[in-house]
Structure 1
Amino acid sequence: MSRLLIDGYNLIGILHRDLKKARQELIETLINYRKKKGHDITVVFDGYKTGPGMETVEYYGGVRVIYSGVSEKADDVIKRILKTEKLFWIVITSDRDIEKEAWKENCVPVSSSLFSEILNGEEYYFEHAKGVTLSKKEKAILRAVSKL
């Protein structure tokens, strides 16, 4: 079992007419993924524009869903979680600032596009040229992906 910290809207993308529906579909997908894999999943969304104004935490099928408050964006909440919870997270995002914060807090970022492929049941194969040495970060990412 791994702990996943997901940048929700980063994973969904912005090309949706009905963001609320896309968000609900992602949560349902994560619930099913959790049932299959057993991971501890936290997904964070911006809630400051449409939410109640304060940070909220809800649980659906064992998935922790956080909506940021009026004074924070989801990115800020994710960074705060990384700094305060001091757990080993696999952080699902393609945001460079969050990726840097994840590495700084000894966690491993995995790109949203790669995780999306994994959620859709696509196999991830890593090939590299013979004689090419992987960096420590590349090896860490491969270990994290193998757990997903």
Structure 2
Amino acid sequence: MELVIDGYNVIRQSPVFKKAEQEGLEVGRETLIKYLEAYRKLKKHKITVVFDGQNAAHLSIQKERIAGISVIYSPYGQTADEIIKRMVMKNSNLVVVTSDREIIDFAQRHRATSIPTTEFIPRLEMAFYSEIKGIEEDTPSSIAPIKKGPSRRLSKRQRKKQRVLRKM
């Protein structure tokens, strides 16, 4: 599974990352990458995080690799949203983590799966705290409650999203 994460969107949705960002943009990014590193160690997914760099002086896409995580900064005049959309057009098997409605709709139109940041952040925090405590793997039962009541078949899009969430 390959995750593409809208960096600042995730930072601004979590109280932990938002607090770190108040100290500075760089601190917020480093904190997010530290949590993503723990998540990657636990789940072994390929992770790419995209940050807006449109106000920066560089004219081309800046890429770096930190602890096995690809970090991309958008070039001057472009947003992270445009970079993510281009990645989705090239590979529809991506899982996009964002709460940006425009990107979610774009991903769905191109048959990519999108996960809201509000669903991803608890998994990210659980992986980080599991690493601190030395736990090897989390149990799926601790993430999702057991369904009760009459069964109802979900739509194809919802079933695909559920399969992705189980793997996360």
Q: Same fold (TM over 0.5)?
A: yes
Cα contact 2:3–2:45 (8 A) shared by 1 = yes
Q: Which amino acid aligns with 1:5?
A: V
The match for 2:124 among 103, 115, 119 is 119
Q: Quick check: 125-134 or 46-55, which moved more?
A: 125-134
Over 3 Å counting, the alpha-carbon distance change for 1:51 and 1:22 in structure 2 is: farther
8 Å CA contact retained: 1:47, 1:53 = no
- The aligned counterpart of 1:52 is 58
- 1:133 matched to 2:162: no
Secondary structure at the aligned position of 1:125 is classed as: coil
Aligned residues: 146
Please tell me the residue identity of whatever aligns with 1:124: I
Structure 1 residue identity aligned to 2:2? R
Give the TM-score taking structure 1 as reference length.
0.89
Structure-2-length-normalised TM-score: 0.79
Contact 1:51 1:67 in 2 (8 A): no
1:12-57 deviation line (CA, Å, top 9, x unaligned): 1174412221111111111221122111000000011235243111
Alpha-carbon distance between aligned partners in 2 of 1:119 and 1:90, rounded to the nearest angstrom: 15
Pairing 1:1-148 to 2, within 5 Å after superposition: 2-13=1-12, 15=18, 16-17=21-22, 18-50=24-56, 52-84=58-90, 86-121=91-126, 123-125=142-144, 127=147, 129-148=149-168
Q: Separation in 1 of the partners of 2:156 and 2:62?
A: 36
Structure 2 counterpart of 1:8, one-letter code: G
Stretches of structure 1 lacking an aligned partner (at least 5 in a row): none
Runs of 4+ in structure 1 off by over 3 angstroms are 126-129
- Whichever residue aligns with residue 144 of structure 2, its letter is Y
Q: Which residue matches 2:137?
A: none
Tell me which protein shows more helix as a share of its residues.
Answer: 2
Q: C-alpha distance in 2, partners of 1:118/1:95?
A: 19
The 1:129–1:49 alpha-carbon spacing in structure 2 relative to 1, beyond 3 Å, is farther
The two structures, once aligned, show a CA RMSD in angstroms of 1.9
